[in-house]
Amino acid sequence: MTALTAPQFTDEAAARAHLEAIRWPAGPVCPHCGSVSFYRLEGKAHRPGLLKCKDCEKQYSVTVGTVFERSKIPLTKWMMAVYLLCSSKKGISSHQIHRIIGVTYKTAWFMTHRIREAMSDTSGGMLGGAGSSGVVEADETYFGTTRGQGKGSHISKKQKVVALLERNGRVRAFHVPTVNADTLKPILEANIDKAANLMTDESQVYKKVSKSFASHERVNHGKKEYARGNVTTNTVEGYFGILKRGISGVYQHVSPAHLERYVNEFSFRYNNRTALEVTDAERAKRALAGAEGKRLTYR
């Protein structure tokens, strides 16, 4: 049985059971009061999958309190869209989703943004702490081209993304308004363990915020130095390479208003990559598990 012919992609009851098993592995939990006492409302008078809490007496289904809430799109199409977005290394366009699963482009666009919202990292924890390599690479990159006065690419007008990557571990990336010590200091201090070894390029921005960590090593790209023993930012630059190829090759244009979600998408796939023995199916399950407690309206 291939991935896209599994029951959850072809049968609505199977898709609902698949989502319930991921969200409620120990059985349904009322999203209104947290009770585990329920009964299923069955028959022609009720829509499939409807449950009623025995304590607060409110009705709910597995989609309530998730990014799928109030959606009229069949769950089979949702499951397929999640799988496609999770299994494509550089992403998959909304146009391609709309052609494959048979929805309008506008619907596919909104679906992919809801899925990206489910992919956002809410795990917490500090990078470079106990149990990790203890090394965190930090770097920034720029998106877009702008016309301005004079020669040059006018970097100050481009969209900026800063990434913090734990060597052999996770990555967290942020769309920031500007790259300076005032912007980066709270991000680094909120996400990197104080015992971590910070590695960056020669940018003076990081030198100003590095005192919060155990050590700070730099490579000088301006002098064509890209690695000095264990000191390098090649890993985080590899992440940026995947991100940029996806943005420019698959999505082609990303609005600044939505760039953060696209960054979340690529970070999610990196943090659940094949090198960590995460399969496409498992990656899709983790995205579905992240759908709880998040909402995104079209407005």
pLDDT level of residue 293 (50, 70, 90 thresholds):
confident
- Selection from 136, 97, 143, 139 nearest residue 252 by Cα: 143
Give the model's pLDDT for residue 147.
Answer: 54
Q: Please give the domain boundaries of the chain with CATH numbers for all domains.
A: 135-254 (3.30.420.10)
Q: What digits encode the pLDDT tens for the residues 81-97? A: 999 999 999 999 999 99
Helix (H), strand (E) at residue 283: helix 280-289
Residue 36, classed as helix, strand or coil, is: coil
- Selection from 158, 114, 118 nearest residue 140 by Cα: 158
Give the model's pLDDT for residue 146.
Answer: 59
Q: What is the mean pLDDT of residues 248-263?
A: 92
Q: What rounded mean pLDDT belongs to the chain?
A: 92
pLDDT level of residue 246 (50, 70, 90 thresholds):
very high
Whether residue 32 has pLDDT greater than 90: yes
Q: Which two tokens stand for residue 18?
A: 């698949």
CA 274 to chain centre: 16
Give the model's pLDDT for residue 157.
Answer: 74
Question: CA-CA distances (angstroms) from residue 23 to 5, 41, 62, 164?
Answer: 22, 19, 8, 29
Give the model's pLDDT for residue 152.
Answer: 57
Give the model's pLDDT for residue 168.
Answer: 92
Q: Which two tokens stand for residue 76?
A: 């089979």
Give the model's pLDDT for residue 2.
Answer: 54
Residue 139, classed as helix, strand or coil, is: strand
Whether residue 55 has pLDDT greater than 90: yes
Q: What is the pTM of this model?
A: 0.91
pLDDT level of residue 124 (50, 70, 90 thresholds):
confident
pLDDT level of residue 273 (50, 70, 90 thresholds):
very high
Question: Is-contact 261 113, C-beta < 8 A?
Answer: yes
Dist CA 286 CA 83 (whole Å): 11
Whether residue 248 has pLDDT greater than 70: yes
Q: What digits encode the pLDDT tens for the residues 125-183? A: 899 988 888 999 999 999 876 555 555 555 567 899 999 999 999 999 999 999 999 99
Rounded to a whole number of angstroms, the distance between the first and last alpha carbons of the chain is 39
Dist CA 285 CA 34 (whole Å): 22
Dist CA 280 CA 287 (whole Å): 11
Q: Higher confidence at residue 208 or residue 184?
A: 184
pLDDT level of residue 207 (50, 70, 90 thresholds):
confident
DSSP 132: S
Dist CA 237 CA 286 (whole Å): 25
Helix (H), strand (E) at residue 176: strand 171-176
- Selection from 126, 125, 159 nearest residue 244 by Cα: 159
